[in-house]
Amino acid sequence: MTINLAILLLSGCLGLDPMGSAVADDTAGGGTDSGTYSSSFGGMSFPDSVDFGQVLLGDAAATTDLELTNDSNGNVKITDIQLDAGSDFQAESTSPPWVIGPGGQYVVTLSFDPSSTGVQTGTLSFGVETEQDLAAISLSGEGVTDATGTDTGGTSTGTSDGGTNAGSMTYSTSSLAFGTLAVGSTNSASVTLTNGTSDDVEIQSITSSSSVFTTSGITPPTTLSSGNSKTLQVSFTPTAATAYTETVTVQTDAGDKNIAVTGTGEDACTVCAPAISVDTGGSPTSMDFVSLIGIPDSQTVRISNVGDEDLIVRNVYATNDPIGSGDFDVSFSGSTTLAPGDRTSVTVTFTCPDVCLLEMTSLSADWNILHIESDDPSTSDYKIELNGGSGF
């Protein structure tokens, strides 16, 4: 089987449901469920997961278009696309980098064509130029035969309303994708188990392959009477900043069912905002310059983001008083975004063409002030006093 990644730059709507989740081609024998979670990464929004549901072995592959949308006001460069999956998956892609303009979309066409029965899982990851890590999108699907799959047009196989079948039991879904959560936080989702036969079914055990996924709502052993349903709650509580791909197994006397569960943990924020820090090599609020009769004095100002969200440095400029003959100039290339921990530098230059009086700061008149404008919520206009004079 193959998973094809045809990467296109489009601006239309290509197979997204109203929740922003990718939707598979119904001709493959199963629907795609991408959950109700969506994420944003480096200015790009995308669904957290793609679930192809059940696909008949030997039938046509299920396909879907996965959209990465640029929701920012500037260009975003896609730098990497990776597919991490088992032996049943292969990938072909047009090699990044690829620049996406504001409102533009980067479309990955996925297909699922199982060669064996059972739930298959994988991860599609992508990188952008402004981020050090990769964003992860969970992939899942189940290969089935006529005996265990959905209705193939004449022979009932016990599956209804998009559910999946394990003997005489039906399940509302074969996978749960929890998206990205802060480490230590919890999110829950449910699976409905239905006994559609005339016999009672004993639910013997429910187990999880990892302690980060826990279950509640059904306490084995318990009997599910004919025609009745029970709801199983599955909770995800990540303990580390990593991606999890695990299994919840329901064992009954009518057969077992593996439910694929995926989610990603991320470090919880501390500041939960961008925060500017300025280093002048001396005082963080004032700088002194000496221009020796036309020889400029240049000094470096380092701007860092010590917060845990991106800092946008919109503008850096100097104001000069209209009286003195000396001038302060700033080298700033334009608006830039600093990820947490990143920094940038600007150069401030003072030039006195001849003997000039001492250039002093006036905050009230906005004379000889270096302004650093950013989206720091507490210091949107960081000011540094500039003082300059001539030497002999």
Report pLDDT digits (tens) over 105-155. 777 777 888 888 888 888 888 899 999 888 888 888 888 886 444 433 333
Q: Are residues 117 and 226 in the same domain?
A: no
Domain-located, residue 243: yes
Domain-located, residue 318: yes
Q: Per-residue pLDDT tens for 222-243? A: 999 888 999 999 999 999 989 9
CA 253 – CA 197 distance, rounded (Å): 13
Q: Are residues 89 and 217 in the same domain?
A: no
- The residue from 233, 268, 303 where one domain ends is 268
Q: Are residues 7 and 123 in the same domain?
A: yes
What is the span of the domain harbouring residue 31? Answer: 1-148
Query: What's the whole-number average pLDDT of the chain?
Result: 80
Domain-located, residue 234: yes
Which residue, chain included where needed, has tokens 């000889």? 368
Q: Are residues 33 and 122 in the same domain?
A: yes
Q: Are residues 288 and 248 in the same domain?
A: no
Q: Are residues 303 and 215 in the same domain?
A: no
Q: Are residues 376 and 322 in the same domain?
A: yes
Q: Are residues 84 and 109 in the same domain?
A: yes
Q: Are residues 23 and 98 in the same domain?
A: yes
Domain-located, residue 288: yes
CA 116 – CA 128 distance, rounded (Å): 35
- The residue from 117, 148, 179 where one domain ends is 148
Residue 332 confidence (pLDDT): 92
Report the CATH number at residue 225.
2.60.40.10
Domain-located, residue 153: no
CA 62 – CA 153 distance, rounded (Å): 18
The number of domains in the chain is 3
Residue 96 confidence (pLDDT): 81
The sign of the dihedral angle between the CA atoms of 66, 72, 75, 80 is: negative
- The residue from 126, 148, 170 where one domain ends is 148
Beta strands in 16-104 (DSSP E): 38-41, 44-47, 49-56, 62-70, 76-85, 91-92, 98-100
Q: Are residues 2 and 71 in the same domain?
A: yes
Q: Per-residue pLDDT tens for 169-186? A: 789 988 999 888 888 889
Residue 111 confidence (pLDDT): 81
Q: Per-residue pLDDT tens for 323-378? A: 776 889 999 989 999 999 999 999 999 988 776 666 676 767 678 899 999 999 99
Domain-located, residue 207: yes
Domain-located, residue 55: yes
Domain-located, residue 385: yes
**300-335 b/e with 16+ CB inside 10 Å = b?**
ebebbbebbebbbbeebebbbbeebebbbebebeee
Q: Which of 85-99, 259-273, 293-307 has the highest mean pLDDT?
A: 293-307
Q: Which two tokens stand for residue 142?
A: 């189940």
Q: Are residues 237 and 286 in the same domain?
A: no
CA 179 – CA 169 distance, rounded (Å): 27
Q: How many CB atoms lie within 10 A of CB 155?
A: 8
Q: Are residues 288 and 350 in the same domain?
A: yes
